[in-house]
């Protein structure tokens, strides 16, 4: 929150002056990846940048939680000095949840150079298929609003593993260099629109790894798709059946004795429709908070409840005629 407020104030200030904000000039972006036998990766990022005279005083790094179980052991520093959490110059804001967001709050000096360091461990980053493991990692931030003069990557694999496929990066121009204990890649003039997705495959014969939680959830979600669909269809069929029975009991016939209760039925259907829609929206929020890892089909039952509620409300309007 302090980082977001600071960024907003800087943007408003630059807008009121009528001049565009100067982008950060990133001279060097280094990423060191140390893959562990437990399927986690220790990450060290170092960013050497220059802050323009009119640039924002906050630099943000966001690491997506896709294909990651979680983040821990997060620390950051500015110019070699450990940074404490806070909202003042020389401090950092850290939010570690489904995603990891770190904001460095830089000092007021203009046209200054800084070196920002970020260390963290991401767990459950290796996808397991039998005795084969696939490691994918977004090396550089995406999206970003700055170019990079030079980017460097180093990757250390766990002892006892052997690469089945040499590490690759999806963007062209990276120069790979072999080293006794690691793979190293370097590229210059990296544009802000350029991706840098690292992929490598490992043989896990002597270093067995457990499936990460996100992979287990994806597999479980696929298995539960028929159950989710069946539950949603059951709700829809039940709601339609209720409306059909009510229509048979209260036909729309002028002067018919059974038509005397139609106003009460209309009121009851409107009330029931509102209750069912609220129930559907509430259950949808709960399902999103607890079952979203199982995929979009986990919303089948909440969506069907909302549809049935709208059907009840529409039928109530019809019964008023």
Alpha carbon distance 312, 306 (integer Å):
10
Question: What is residue 123's predicted lDDT score, i.e. its pLDDT?
Answer: 94
CA pair distance 311, 166, nearest whole angstrom? 57
What is the spatial distance between Cα 207 and Cα 38, in angstroms, rounded to a whole number? 9
Mean pLDDT of 167-182: 85
Q: What is the pLDDT of residues 305-319, one digit of tens each?
A: 999 889 888 888 877
Tokens representing residue 289 in the block: 């908070």
Over residues 96-145, the pLDDT tens digits come to 888 999 999 887 666 688 899 999 999 999 999 888 889 999 999 988 88
Stated as kind and residue range, the H or E segment containing 279 is helix 262-291
pLDDT score recorded for residue 143: 85
Interhelix angle for 213-249 vs 300-319, to 10°?
Answer: 20
Higher pLDDT, 30 or 209: 30
What is the pTM assigned to this prediction? 0.72
In angstroms, how far is the first alpha carbon of the chain from the final one?
53
Cβ contacts of 88 within 8 Å, gap of 6 or more? 105
pLDDT tens figures, 7-18? 443 334 333 333
| Domain layout of the chain by residue ranges | 2-6+22-209, 214-319
Using the predicted structure, report yes or no on whether residue 321 has a pLDDT greater than 70. no
Output the average pLDDT for the chain. Answer: 83
Provide CATH code, domain 2-6+22-209.
2.60.40.1730
Strand locations in the chain (E):
25-35, 41-51, 58-63, 70-78, 81-82, 91-96, 100-105, 112-123, 126-129, 132-138, 148-156, 162-169, 175-178, 183-190, 197-203
Closest to 296 measured CA to CA, from 232, 234, 235, 237? 232
- Measured in degrees and rounded to the nearest 5, phi and psi for residue 287 equal -65, -40
* Nearest in space to 135 (alpha carbons), one of 200, 218, 207: 200
């Amino acid at each position: 929150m302090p980082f977001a407020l600071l960024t907003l104030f800087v943007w408003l200030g630059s807008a009121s002056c009528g001049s565009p904000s100067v982008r950060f000039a990133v001279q060097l972006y280094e990423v060191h990846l140390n893959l562990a036998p437990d399927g986690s990766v220790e990450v060290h990022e170092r960013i050497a940048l220059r802050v323009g005279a009119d640039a924002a005083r906050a630099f943000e790094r966001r690491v997506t939680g896709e294909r990651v179980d979680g983040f821990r052991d997060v620390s950051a520093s500015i110019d070699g000095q450990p940074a404490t959490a806070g909202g003042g110059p020389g401090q950092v804001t850290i939010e570690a949840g489904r995603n990891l967001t770190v904001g460095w709050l830089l000092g007021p000096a203009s046209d200054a150079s800084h070196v920002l360091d970020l260390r963290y461990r991401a767990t459950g980053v290796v996808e397991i298929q039998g005795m084969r493991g696939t490691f994918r990692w977004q090396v550089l931030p995406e999206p970003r609003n700055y170019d990079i003069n030079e980017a460097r990557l180093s990757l250390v694999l766990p002892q006892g593993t052997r690469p089945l496929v040499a590490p690759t990066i999806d963007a062209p121009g990276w120069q790979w260099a072999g080293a006794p204990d690691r793979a190293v890649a370097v590229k210059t003039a990296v544009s802000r629109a350029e991706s840098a997705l690292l992929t490598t495959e490992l043989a896990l014969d002597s270093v067995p790894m457990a499936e990460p939680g996100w992979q287990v959830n994806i597999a479980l979600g696929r298995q539960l798709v028929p159950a989710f669909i069946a539950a949603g269809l059951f709700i829809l069929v039940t709601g339609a059946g209720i409306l059909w029975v009510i229509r048979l009991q209260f036909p729309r016939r002028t002067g018919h004795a059974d038509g005397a209760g139609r106003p009460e039925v209309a009121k009851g259907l409107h009330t029931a429709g509102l209750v069912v829609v609220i129930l559907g929206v509430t259950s949808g929020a709960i399902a999103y908070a607890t079952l979203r890892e199982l995929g979009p089909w986990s919303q089948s039952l909440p969506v069907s409840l909302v549809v049935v509620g709208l059907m009840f409300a529409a039928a109530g309007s019809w019964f008023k005629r």
